[in-house]
Amino acid sequence: MGALKANGLDVPNGVLRSSMIPSWNLHTIVKRVLQSIRTVIFTSKLNLLMPFGPATIVLYYTTNWHGVIFLFSMLGITPLAERLGYATEQLAVYTGPTLGGLLNATFGNATEMIIAIYALKNGMIRVVQQSLLGSILSNMLLVVGCAFFAGGIIHRNKDQVFSKATAVVNSGLLLMAVMGLMFPAVLHFTHSEIQQGASELALSRFSSGIMLVAYASYLYFQLSSRNSSYSQIGSEEVPNEDATEEDEEVEISMWEAIAWLAVLTIWISVLSEYLVNAIEGASDSLNLPVAFISVILLPIVGNAAEHASAIMFAMKDKLDITIGVAIGSSTQISMFVIPFCVVVGWMMGQKMDLNFQLFETATLFITVLVVAFMLQDGVANYLKGLMLVLCYLIVAASFFVHVDPQASDDD
């Protein structure tokens, strides 16, 4: 492969050359820092929303406007989530496809994990469950639907195709996640536990361990497979005609990418605490159910990067990458983030389990079936996209009128 370029310097095959190490005088450091800030902060239109972050903190300590604080924190986190994805992609160029795939798996859903951990710390287990469920539903229905619709309109004279093998593997993992969530719920609602409450929690923790093993096996299978049908999405060999596009995408150095990952993760963590603290007050002031806020509104924050990139790749007729971004993100949340939160809750002494209640579990099950049927033929068009978006509107309306049976117990 040809050499990539970062800041005008050659990076052959992801390896930093010694010539990239600058002379560390004050002028050089200031110049590099300013150039990095300009590249990361001022190259995305979403970054116009960044002032909402500091405004959130000011409002939190000066007013009781919980609805405004919640909306401002959502708007403030959205560009940070998008830039976190950007910094991960930049770092993946230097680390190569194998480690790059692991980085994407780790940081791709970092926003959802941070929000979930803060909610767990506050004992808001239902918010954790519903926000993670909402992220899966949003990725599978809204993100994939918008991508298929946009790509289908741009390429309306032909059907867009993608790898059926990859879609089948992801659909299988999603169905396995549904199984992991379904049995604790069925055990609870059929009153067939040996010890009421304790058995479903023990089953949830055991199943979470199994799901984490399955996800680790899936990652190893993806990253080590030599079969092109199952190769890591987004890390496959880039055709020659696209080489110039990849050259243009390498815009910051490896250490700059690492520094930005740390800064963005910390800033997201800070705003996530204000976001979680404002949820219940926002529910009252905006007259919206907590379930609707958790399932429909919160995922907008974490899925901003996936939504934008999935649509962009679909419009460029790169459906394999679109499926990898959207369905792959749903797989990560269902098979890694949810069981990880169960384990973290166990360590915190919180009774986080996989019993998402019947309404939520049934919604996820039906969604996985619908999307699996849509993906089984490996063909995308605008009609499929429109159907998925309309399905998401039905789900959103359902949660708007849904009363969470456990809300009163967890408040």
Q: In angstroms, rounded to a whole number, what is the distance separating the alpha carbons of residues 207 and 180?
A: 6
151 Cβ contact list (under 8 Å, min separation 6): 160, 311, 314, 315, 317, 319, 322, 380, 382, 385
CA 361 to chain centre: 20
Average pLDDT over the chain reads: 80
pLDDT greater than 90 at residue 398: yes
Average pLDDT over residues 238-263: 64
Q: In angstroms, rounded to a whole number, what is the distance separating the alpha carbons of residues 306 and 88?
A: 13
Range 55-59, long-range pairs (CB < 8 A, 24+ positions): 56/271, 56/274, 56/275, 57/270, 57/274
Average pLDDT over residues 149-161: 87
Task: Please tell me the chain's helix, strand, coil percentages from 3-state DSSP, rounded to the nearest 5.
Answer: 75, 5, 20
- 75, two tokens: 């708007």
Q: Strand, helix or coil at 243? A: helix
Q: Strand, helix or coil at 372? A: helix
Residue with tokens 């910051």: 252
Contact (CB, 8 A) for 84 and 111: yes
Q: Return the closest-CA partner of residue 360 out of 125, 76, 35.
A: 125
Q: In this predicted structure, what is the pLDDT of residue 106?
A: 67
Could you report the per-residue pLDDT of 337-378, keeping only the tens digit for each?
A: 999 999 999 998 888 999 888 999 999 999 999 999 999 888
DSSP state of 404: P
Q: In this predicted structure, what is the pLDDT of residue 406?
A: 63
Q: How would you classify the pairing of strands 3-6 and 9-12?
A: antiparallel
Q: In angstroms, rounded to a whole number, what is the distance separating the alpha carbons of residues 410 and 123?
A: 8
* CATH architecture under which domain 45-227+252-401 falls: Up-down Bundle (1.20)
Q: In this predicted structure, what is the pLDDT of residue 211?
A: 94
What is the end-to-end Cα distance of the chain in Å, rounded?
57
**Domain segments of the chain as ranges:** 45-227+252-401
pTM value? 0.79
Letter string b/e over residues 226-263, b meaning 16 or more CB atoms within 10 A of that residue's CB: eeeebbbbbbeeeeeeeeeeeeeebbbbbebbebbbee
Q: In this predicted structure, what is the pLDDT of residue 378?
A: 87
